[in-house]
Amino acid sequence: MLTSRVPLQGLAAAAAAVVAGIGLFELAARIGLGPPAVHLLTRPARDVQTDFDITYAVDRNGRRRGCPPPAAPGRRVAIIGDSFAFGAGVGDLEHFAARLGCAMPGAEILNFGSIGHDFLYYEIALRSLVPGDTDDLILLLYDNDLPPADWERGWSRMKRTLYRTSHAVVVLRAAWQAFVRRLRRAEIESIVVDGRPNNVKVVALTNPGHFDSIAHPPPDRLALFDRALDRFVDRARRVAPRARIFVAVVPDASTLSRRHRAFFASLADVPLPPFGAPSPFYLRARAACAALAGCSFIELYEALSHEGESLYFPHDLHWNPRGHAVVAGVVRAALDGVERPHSTARD
């Protein structure tokens, strides 16, 4: 009996040491870096595409650089989104969040946009990064931002909890993604337009479902989005009780520009949403927001439709500097034109 207990005691001691080590790492990381969500923010990097070659800069908090915030801001605006919020392809003072900061000198604009993310990140960013004294919260969605099919299942909920609470898990996730990108680096760099890598062509050839989700979003996923947005808005009321909540959807370039439709179609046989009208997801997000108390929808489609193709990079999904300038004007008008509601947080 004694000989069998010794190995078990050793294993228990080793397990306890591992748990203690992980706990110390998490505590040190939390003190030194902040919440695990900081690892999900976009890092300084060079981005070379057909239409641009740019190196992104971030501030000491890991957010995209913009106009310096005031020493004593009278207003705090938080923006959550993906590469459109981050400002893919444009300079540090050209993305719409930076333009807002320059045009609103008394306000602090917190840009939590991060390239390549979706609803998983949006909820984590809301709960981990948005300050409680935020005055205005903007959720900027892209036309394919449907939550994953397993969004409400146990494993997905557990995954969101782990990403929100564990530095180790988020770091391992980032390391795995970097490893996969390195494995596919040669393949991705070989998919070019005019001699340069092109993300749209990569997506068209390797993930045609991206375009299909914009053209024909499944009804069950749209219903899932309704519930996810309801959850997000309710959580936002809890996180920042005095904040006004805005939702906006980035129209896909193919719904506004015939040149982009022709370009997308030339890359692969992919479905495209109707031209000259908002996509099904855009319409669903507008209706879902309207059904929620305290949610204001910012109309981007009409504002962008007047100039269409001139607001997007010619061979890319993203806005060019002119597009960001137009969006900044629309968002500024929304921020200035809505009266602040009383808090309606649920008990």
pLDDT at 6 (0 to 100)? 58
pTM: 0.90
Reported confidence tier of residue 11, pLDDT bands at 50, 70, 90: confident
Taking the CA atoms of 202, 206, 210 and 216 in sequence, report the sign of the dihedral they define.
Answer: positive
The upper half-sphere exposure of residue 52, i.e. CA atoms within 13 Å in the direction of its Cβ, equals: 21
Is 346 within the bounds of a domain?
Answer: no
Q: Assess whether pLDDT exceeds 50 at residue 345.
A: no
More confident residue, 16 or 158: 158
- Distance separating alpha carbons of residues 229 and 120, to the nearest angstrom: 12
- Mean pLDDT, the chain, as a whole number? 90
- Distance separating alpha carbons of residues 281 and 117, to the nearest angstrom: 17
Q: Assess whether pLDDT exceeds 90 at residue 344.
A: no
Beta-sheet strands, E only, within the chain: 45-49, 52-56, 75-81, 107-111, 136-142, 192-193, 196-197, 244-250, 295-298
pLDDT at 343 (0 to 100)? 37
Domain with 41 in it:
35-337
Is 343 within the bounds of a domain?
Answer: no
pLDDT at 4 (0 to 100)? 55
- Residues 18 and 84 occupy one common structural domain: no
Q: Assess whether pLDDT exceeds 90 at residue 180.
A: no
- Residues 28 and 81 occupy one common structural domain: no
Is 345 within the bounds of a domain?
Answer: no
Residue 285 identity (one-letter amino acid): A
- Distance separating alpha carbons of residues 264 and 316, to the nearest angstrom: 9
* Total domains, the chain: 2
State the distance between the two ends of the chain, measured CA to CA, in whole angstroms: 56
- Distance separating alpha carbons of residues 338 and 221, to the nearest angstrom: 31
- Residues 245 and 328 occupy one common structural domain: yes
Q: Assess whether pLDDT exceeds 80 at residue 346.
A: no
**Nearest residue to 42 (alpha-carbon basis) of 91, 93, 114, 110:** 114
